[in-house]
């Protein structure tokens, strides 16, 4: 399977290291000024929400399959429509959370009645450019719990583009952009990043608590995410008949 990476940052670097011994042919990682070549079996997007809008849509439109990490970009209905229009096939990586498979199964029976996620992280990892000086100072002091956002998942994912991809992933899996909520809490005791998600429907409910070790060199990001990409790559390779490590695909 011939793959390329859009974005050459932390996740791409870790994934490339993790798949060094796997039977995948890595063409390269493309930075802002690089062209994305034709002929890839899969482009792994590990760049930014802007990159999804500015670069990925054209790649999907010309027929390249994509594995997407910056799920927050799909909070925009126009981007969502364009990226799922094909002909390139879109796979959304589960990234930092689990349970989305079950949420999707529940959704088949009909609209879900409640969908929500809470994310708790160390205060300094949640500082954003739009925050005022007083709030940034409180986050840097790191001696109090602060609810930084609580509202529609689509809105929260825009406020915290790097930390609330999980909110967009849940809303997408639940097909519930109208009711999905998200809450982001700065928590000085959160040594591990904790995501607590819940979804209820006619056939039952899902509650999942995920506790992720931060990436040592990038505390705002969870170490498991690069492993989720490797898991996706292996499953895509198996299901599409490319050479892949022994094992089974989970879907
Ligand atoms: N779905 C999830 O659960 C989840 C979890 C963690 C991170 N993410 C997302 O994955 C993405 C990558 O994360 P990371 O930690 O590797 O970030 P990073 O900042 O380490 O790397 C991103 C790289 O992409 C580059 N980039 C940005 N815009 C670009 C563009 N238009 N074209 C080409 N390159 C571009 C940046 O210069 C940077 O080198 C981010 O959008 C992040 O929010 C998703």
What is the overall mean pLDDT for the chain?
96
Answer whether residue 37 shows pLDDT above 80. Answer: yes
- Cα 43 to ligand 1 centroid, rounded to whole Å: 14
Helix/strand/coil (H/E/C) assignment for every residue in the chain: CEEEEECCCHHHHHHHHHCCCCCCEEEEEECCCCCCCCCCCEEEECCCHHHHHHHHHHHHHCCCCEEECCHHHHHCHHHHHHHHCCCCCEEECCCCCCCHHHHHHHHCCCCCCEEEEEEEECHHHHCCCCCCHHHHHHHHHCCCCEEEEEEEHHHHHHHCCCCCHHHHHHHHHHCCCCCCEEEEEECCCCCCEEEEEEEEECCEEEEEEEEECEECCEEEEECHHHHHHHHHHHHHHHHCCCCCCCCCCCC
Model confidence pLDDT, tens digit, residues 134-186: 999 999 999 999 999 999 999 999 999 988 899 999 999 999 999 999 999 99
Instruction: Name all residues whose Cβ lies below 6 A of ligand 1.
Output: 6-12, 31-32, 46-48, 50-51, 54-55, 69-71, 93, 95-96, 162, 165-166, 169, 218, 221, 225
Model confidence pLDDT, tens digit, residues 172-231: 999 999 999 999 999 999 999 999 999 999 999 999 999 999 888 887 789 999 999 999
Cα separation, 198 vs 208, in Å, equals 7
For 174, the token pair is 């639940």
Residues of the chain above pLDDT 70, percent: 100
**Residues recognised as catalytic:** 195
Nearest CA to ligand 1 atom 40: 48
Model confidence pLDDT, tens digit, residues 74-131: 999 999 999 999 999 999 999 999 999 999 999 999 999 999 999 999 999 999 999 9
- Cα 89 to ligand 1 centroid, rounded to whole Å: 20
Phi, psi at 229, each rounded to 5°: -65, -45
Ligand 1 closest atom vs CA 54: 31
Nearest CA to ligand 1 atom 43: 162
Find the mean pLDDT for residues 236-245. 96
- Cα 138 to ligand 1 centroid, rounded to whole Å: 27
Q: Which of 156, 69, 146, 159 is nearest to 116 (CA)?
A: 156
Residue 93: how many other CB atoms lie within 10 Å = 23
For the CA atoms of 249, 94, 86, 156, the dihedral, rounded to the nearest 10 degrees, stands at 170
Quick one: pLDDT band at residue 61, thresholds 50, 70, 90? very high
Are 36 and 59 in contact, with CB atoms under 8 Å apart? yes
pLDDT at 163: 83
Domains of the chain: 2-92+224-239 (3.40.50.720), 100-212 (3.30.360.10)
pLDDT at 187: 97
- Cα 47 to ligand 1 centroid, rounded to whole Å: 3
Ligand 1 closest atom vs CA 12: 16
């Amino acid at each position: 399977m011939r793959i390329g990476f859009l974005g050459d940052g932390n996740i791409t670097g870790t994934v490339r290291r993790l798949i060094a011994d796997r039977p995948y042919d890595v063409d390269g990682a493309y930075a802002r000024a690089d062209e994305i070549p034709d002929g890839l079996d899969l482009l792994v997007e590990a760049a930014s929400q802007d990159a999804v809008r500015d670069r990925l849509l054209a790649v999907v439109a010309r027929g390249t399959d994509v594995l997407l990490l910056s799920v927050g970009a799909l909070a925009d209905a126009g981007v969502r429509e364009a990226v799922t229009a094909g002909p390139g096939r879109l796979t959304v990586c589960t990234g930092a959370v689990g349970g989305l498979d079950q949420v999707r199964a529940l959704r088949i029976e009909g609209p879900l009645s409640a969908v929500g996620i809470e994310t708790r992280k160390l205060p300094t990892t949640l500082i954003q450019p739009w925050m005022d000086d007083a709030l940034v100072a409180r986050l840097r002091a790191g001696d109090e719990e602060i609810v930084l956002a609580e509202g529609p998942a689509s809105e929260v994912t825009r406020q915290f583009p790097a930390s609330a991809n999980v909110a967009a992933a849940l809303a997408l899996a639940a097909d519930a952009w109208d009711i999905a909520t998200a809450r982001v809490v700065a928590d000085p005791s959160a040594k591990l990043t904790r995501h607590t998600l819940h979804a209820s429907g006619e056939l039952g409910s899902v509650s999942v608590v995920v506790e992720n070790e931060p990436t040592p060199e990038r505390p705002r990001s969870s170490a498991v995410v690069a492993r989720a990409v490797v898991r996706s790559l292996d499953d895509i390779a198996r299901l599409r008949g490319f050479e892949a490590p022994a094992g089974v695909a989970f879907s």
